[in-house]
Structure 1
Amino acid sequence: MEKVSIKCKVAVSGNVRAKLLYSKDSFCFWGGADPQSGLIRDNRSDCYEKNMAGQVFAFPFGKGSSGAGLVILEQVRLDCAPAAIINLRSDPVILTGPLIAKHFYNKSIPVVNLSEEDYEKLEGAKEIEFFEDKDYIDVYY
């Protein structure tokens, strides 16, 4: 596999390497994701009927509900949350899920932000690796 390192802004740190689920669409966890399975239920999403559980979920922006963090927290409790999240700009409401999961469940869900140019480089990638103490991610093609 070819590896490329991409500089990022870390919102929530953690170590993980997982397969990538890449979307070009903004995403709303409340109603858009099944909190009991991780399945994407929003039929307008380019990831419709794909499962985010255990994968790095990349979507440019969050949209919608103030309940997004609660959906992520419930996914963590039921072991079907994304392994990590990549955005262009993370919504504070989405960040509440990974931040609280660290404290309540001792589960780390890294969240990073990329430039628009670097975000587009994710298309076609297979896996992403995050590092607790680094300001970059490794992208595997």
Structure 2
Amino acid sequence: MKTETDQAQIEHIIQTLKQDLPTLFERDITYDIYSQDILFKDPISRFKGKFNYRIIFWTLRFHGQLFFTELYFDLHDVYQSEENIILADWTVSGTLRLPWKAKIFFNGQSCYRLTDEKLIYEHIDTWDRKPSEILRQFFRKGM
């Protein structure tokens, strides 16, 4: 049964995600909304634990600055789809630091599952194309 407190906690998580995600390539996110044993999975990786989760975001920032002249995480929507599930729809786009200025672009969705205590214990990303298709964008000339 959902209480007012539960809904307030879910709203806090949604607002935190709305604040954190658009700038995840520029600065660190807020970790107090995640459980210690958070599971992260996307089409190319799988990690468990808050320490590893922090490393994922550090790595995204590091590689983003190293390999891209521009890199954006455009957040389209964050919403509660079921009692303990929050979804985020987004697009990643950027320009690689290559002489031919290759562009990268893909859409995705993050599914966050919540514990009864209203902490995120699972973060699963799905993408609108295969990793190999995204990698091929590196070799196309940008516009």
- Fold agreement, TM-score > 0.5: no
**Greater relative contact order structure (CA < 8 Å, 6+ sep):** 1
Larger Rg: 2
Q: Which has the higher strand share?
A: 2
